[in-house]
């Protein structure tokens, strides 16, 4: 009996979990903004002091959308977040877009680093005690780098979202949470590859807001723009109907 | 009041950055200081240079450099600013520090004295010290190489008694006269009846004794921590090695931080010049996120910069300039480590990243009131708060913008990216016309119709049709 009691005591600890149930983190998770996803993550959100290995096919463009609600919540609460960008990336963050998504830009640090310096910069940011969330595209991160970054994240309190290509899914990774993320017509399809708990068989479908008009302040009522699906018709013809003088459109044909 | 006197007996020699051994420093034909080897050969201060040369044929005689001595003394005085703002410079080779108010902060007399001695040892300066409730008594103790502390006023006469009369630095004639009275040490002088002594040896002796015993007030010239900091340091040999530069620059930074502490100020920029022989100096600018006076912050930044610096020529000396500082009051130590240091922690992180990645690598986004997408956002200094965009009701903007718009091909009723045959985009919104920018000389003039488009797999992008040059382009990603 005493043995069983001690075992139950052991299971009640935050850092021990039984294989077929979710680990109980001490409520340290950062809410993701999607209740369906929160329910499937140990701790009810993005884990603090750990890496999240996100496999998406486009260098963090779709993966970043997964973290935008958490980013908005943290920055509005005055917590520091960081976005690490490779110098070579053809994309750059667009300020009005992030502001419209509710992110307080004053608390978002944008760091640009070359591929060689990126792991170092990641480590420094993760070790800083006052950064809560780091988004970094590291397509070339090896398992050794991931292990090092996981250690750095464990030393600080930050969630480190590392975006890599789907081809790394077969590699071992030190991150306690691994996701595969892809854009689908309904929004985002998230497949949890690894978590502290039983693996999730079916992918989660997370709805994404359609592009909306920008109003002052994130809390203002957003008016839904009626979608204009215009399949079939010639594009330049559509463009003509919308804005362009006919002569210009015809000349394209 | 508790005074700590620091006497540097070998200052003329210590201030010489390069010399061979054995060496002696001479001024007007007389030796003023000699190193250990030449002292072992019997060479002393006050000896004629010719006599010294005769005793030790290999002796290197160096001319005295009073400017270098004064600079070294000032550097140590600046360092002492870290411990107390009350520093007096006594010509030619001593410092007096009032440490009574600092004892508690630095954990008592012993740790404080050891920290100061450590700072002198880093500068390879020989040191004797003495501590007493009056400045003059402390100075006499140090000059007699007593290296001890007299803690109370009551024990002062007993503490001074064993010192030789020479420690007072009185004129030789006076010292001889006192010896003639039969006084062999200060205790004998103190035991003489004061009015009689003053009548026979002069009023000045009585005054000095009264000031040493705390019976009379002593006016001391305070060391002035100047408005701007500027210190120069000659290296013992020209070097390219980062380790040597780190050490030497660390010395200057320590003096800078002492200067800042004494002035209750902080600086955010300081300039370190690496001096080359006969060439223009190389400049290293240390830039902090906010004014500070923590040595560790400057030092870490310096190491980051020195490691990445390519030196064109060997370095012969260093010069550090800073100031004027901004007022920066000291902060109360926290009982429990709290979140109060969040901003400082971020500043440290930014400085470290900047030191390695470059000044432009770190920033914050800010919205700019400009209708052209390329100009609607800017990278500003981290933490700089921009007002929210004034325009509302504007059509949606994407999260990501391409640095250079990607041309799209128009094919079978859809748009197709060049490298991705599978990705066909369909328009999903009305056009938003964004045009003009004639005021911008750098090619900011545009004329575009923007559409939200959607790929078959669900990707939402922002495309435009250029109605000036023609053609479709991919510009953003939602």
Predicted local distance difference test score (pLDDT) of residue B303: 86
Residues B108-155 have pLDDT tens digits of: 888 999 999 988 888 888 889 999 999 989 999 998 888 888 888 888
SS3 sequence, A37-66?
HHHHCHHHCECCCEEEEEECCCCCHHHHHH
Return d(Cα A231, Cα A84) in angstroms, integer: 38
All residues of chain B having their beta carbon less than 8 Å from the beta carbon of residue A95 are: 365-368, 376-378
pLDDT band per the 50, 70, 90 thresholds, residue A223: very low
Bigger pLDDT: B390 or B411? B411
- What is the average per-residue pLDDT within A104-111? 88
What is the distance between the alpha carbons of residues B241 and B236, in angstroms, rounded to a whole number?
A: 13
The pLDDT value given to residue A230:
42
The residue that leads in pLDDT, B381 or A21, is B381
Q: Of A42, A59, A2, nearest to A177 (Cα)?
A: A42
By the CB < 8 Å criterion, does A96 face chain B? yes
Q: Indicate the range of A226-235, B409-418, B466-475 predicted with least confidence.
A: A226-235
- CA–CA separation, A23 vs A196, rounded Å? 5
3-state secondary structure of A207: strand
> How many angstroms away from the CA of A41 is the closest CA of chain B?
25
Interval A97-104 mean pLDDT: 85
d(CA A9, CA B107): 46
Global confidence as pTM: 0.64
Q: How confident is the model at residue A21 (pLDDT cuts 50, 70, 90)?
A: low
Confidence at residue A241, expressed as pLDDT on a 0 to 100 scale: 45
Q: Do B399 and A65 touch (CB under 8 A)?
A: yes
C-alpha atoms less than 13 angstroms from C-alpha of B434 in its C-beta half-sphere: 20
Interval A175-218: pLDDT, tens: 888 888 888 888 888 888 888 777 777 888 888 877 766 554 44
Interface test with B, best of A211, A218, A241 (most B CBs within 10 A): A211
Q: Which residues of B touch A228 (CB under 8 A)?
A: 427-430
A118-153 burial by CB neighbour count: b if 16+ within 10 A, else e? Answer: bbebbbbbbbbbbbbbbbbbbbebeeebbebbbebb
Residue A226 binned pLDDT confidence (cut-offs 50, 70, 90): very low
Residues of chain B with pLDDT > 90, as a percent, come to: 6
Q: State residue B215's pLDDT score.
A: 86
Three-state secondary structure along chain B?
CCEEEEECCCHHHHCCCCCCCCEEEEECCEEEEECHHHHHCCCCCCCEHHHHHHHCCCCEEEECCHHHHHHHHHHHHHHHCCCCCCEEEECCCEEEEECCCCCCCCCCHHHHHHHHHHHHHHCCCCCEEEEECCHHHHHHHHHCCCCCECCCCCCHHHHHCCCEHHHHCCCHHHHHHHHHCCCCEHHHHHHCCHHHHHHHHCHHHHHHHHHHCCCCCCCCCECCCCCCEEEEEEEEEEECCHHHHHHHHHHHHHHHHHHHHHHCEEEEEEEEEEEECCEEEEEEEEEEEEEECCHHHHHHHHHHHHHCCCCCCCEEEEEEEECCCEECCCCCCCCCCCHHHHHHHHHHHHHHHHHHHCHHHEEEEEECCCCCHHHCEEEECCCCCCCCCCCCCECCCCCEEEEEEEEEEEECCEEEECCCCCCEEEECCCCEEEECCCCCCCCCCCEEEEEEEEECCCCEEEEEEECCCCCEEEEEEC
Predicted pLDDT at A250: 37
* Chain A CA closest to residue B383: A106
Question: Per residue in B349-365, pLDDT tens?
Answer: 888 888 888 888 888 88
| Tens digit of each residue's pLDDT (9 = 90 or more) over B240-249 | 888 888 888 9
Q: For residue range B204-247, list pLDDT tens digits in order.
A: 888 888 888 888 888 888 888 888 999 888 888 888 888 888 88
Mean pLDDT, range B275-281, rounded to an integer: 86
Residue scoring higher pLDDT (A156 or B271): B271
Per the CB < 8 A criterion, the answer to whether B240 and B315 are in contact is yes
Specify the pLDDT at position A22.
Answer: 62
Mean pLDDT of chain B: 84
So what's the pLDDT on residue A249? 37
Q: Which 3 state secondary structure label does DSSP give A238?
A: helix
Contact A16, A8 (CB under 8 A): no
Whether residue A96 and residue B394 make contact (CB cut-off 8 A), yes or no, is: yes
Per-residue confidence (pLDDT) for residue A20, from 0 to 100:
61
Kindly report, residue by residue over B407-446, the tens digit of the pLDDT.
Answer: 887 776 677 776 665 667 777 777 788 887 778 777 777 8
Which residue does chain B place closest to A101, by CA atoms? B399
């Amino acid at each position: 009996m005493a043995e069983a009691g001690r075992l139950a005591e052991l299971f009640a600890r935050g850092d021990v979990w039984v294989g077929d149930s979710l680990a109980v983190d001490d409520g340290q998770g950062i809410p993701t903004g999607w209740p369906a996803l929160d329910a499937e993550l140990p701790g009810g959100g993005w884990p603090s002091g750990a890496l999240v290995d996100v496999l998406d096919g486009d260098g963090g463009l779709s993966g970043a959308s997964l973290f935008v609600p958490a980013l908005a919540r943290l920055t509005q609460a005055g917590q520091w977040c960081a976005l690490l960008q490779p110098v070579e990336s053809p994309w750059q963050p667009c300020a009005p877009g992030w502001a419209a998504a509710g992110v307080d830009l004053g608390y978002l640090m944008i760091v640009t680093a070359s591929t060689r310096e990126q792991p170092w910069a990641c480590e420094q940011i993760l070790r800083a005690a006052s950064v809560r969330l780091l988004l970094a595209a590291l397509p070339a991160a090896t398992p050794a780098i991931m292990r090092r970054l996981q250690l750095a994240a464990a030393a600080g309190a930050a969630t480190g979202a590392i975006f890599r290509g789907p081809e790394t899914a077969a590699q071992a990774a030190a991150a306690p949470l691994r996701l595969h993320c892809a854009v689908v017509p309904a929004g985002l399809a998230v497949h949890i590859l690894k978590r502290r708990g039983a693996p999730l068989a079916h992918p989660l479908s997370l709805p994404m807001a359609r592009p909306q008009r920008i109003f002052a302040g994130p809390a203002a009522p957003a008016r839904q723009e009626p979608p204009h699906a215009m399949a079939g018709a010639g594009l330049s013809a559509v463009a003509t109907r919308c804005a362009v003088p006919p002569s210009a459109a015809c000349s394209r044909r | 009041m508790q005074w700590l006197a620091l006497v540097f007996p070998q200052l003329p020699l210590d201030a010489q950055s390069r010399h061979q051994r054995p060496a002696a420093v001479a001024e007007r034909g007389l030796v003023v200081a000699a190193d250990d080897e030449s002292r072992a050969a019997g060479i002393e201060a006050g000896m004629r240079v010719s006599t010294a040369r005769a005793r030790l044929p290999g002796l290197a005689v160096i001319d005295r450099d009073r400017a270098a001595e004064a600079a070294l003394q000032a550097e140590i005085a600046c360092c002492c600013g870290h411990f107390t703002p009350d520093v007096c410079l006594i010509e030619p080779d001593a410092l007096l520090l009032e440490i009574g108010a600092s004892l508690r902060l630095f954990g008592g007399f012993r740790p404080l004295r050891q920290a100061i001695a450590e700072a002198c040892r880093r500068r390879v300066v020989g040191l004797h010290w003495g501590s007493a409730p009056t400045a003059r008594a402390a100075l006499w103790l140090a000059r007699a190489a007593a290296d001890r502390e007299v803690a109370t006023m009551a024990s002062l006469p007993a503490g001074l008694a064993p010192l030789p009369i020479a420690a007072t630095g009185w004129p030789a004639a006076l010292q001889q006269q006192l010896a003639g009275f039969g006084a062999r040490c200060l205790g004998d002088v103190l035991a003489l009846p004061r009015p009689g002594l003053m009548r026979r040896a002069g009023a000045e002796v009585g005054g000095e004794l009264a000031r040493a015993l705390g019976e009379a007030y002593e006016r001391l010239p305070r060391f002035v921590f100047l408005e701007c900091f500027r210190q120069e340091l000659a290296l013992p040999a020209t070097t390219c090695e980062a380790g040597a530069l780190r050490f030497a620059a660390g010395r200057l930074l320590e003096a800078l931080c002492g200067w800042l502490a004494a002035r209750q100020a902080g600086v955010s920029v300081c300039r370190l010049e690496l001096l080359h022989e006969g060439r223009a100096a190389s400049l290293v600018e240390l830039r902090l996120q906010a004014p500070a006076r923590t040595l560790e912050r400057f030092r870490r930044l310096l190491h980051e910069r020195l490691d990445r610096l390519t030196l064109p020529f060997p370095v012969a000396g260093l010069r550090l300039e800073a100031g004027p500082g901004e007022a920066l009051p000291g902060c109360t130590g926290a009982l429990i480590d709290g979140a109060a240091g969040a901003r400082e922690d971020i500043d440290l992180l930014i400085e470290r990243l900047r030191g390695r990645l470059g000044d432009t690598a770190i920033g914050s986004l800010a919205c700019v009131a400009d209708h052209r997408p390329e100009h609607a956002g800017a990278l500003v200094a981290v933490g700089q708060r921009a007002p929210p965009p004034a325009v509302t009701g504007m059509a949606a903007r994407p999260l990501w913008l391409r640095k250079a718009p990607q041309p799209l091909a128009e094919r079978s009723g859809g748009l197709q990216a060049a490298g991705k045959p599978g990705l066909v985009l369909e328009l999903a919104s009305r056009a938003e016309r964004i045009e003009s920018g004639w005021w911008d000389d750098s090619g900011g003039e545009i004329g575009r119709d923007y559409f939200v488009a959607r790929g078959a797999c669900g990707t939402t992008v922002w495309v435009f049709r250029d109605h000036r040059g023609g053609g479709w382009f991919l510009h953003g990603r939602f």
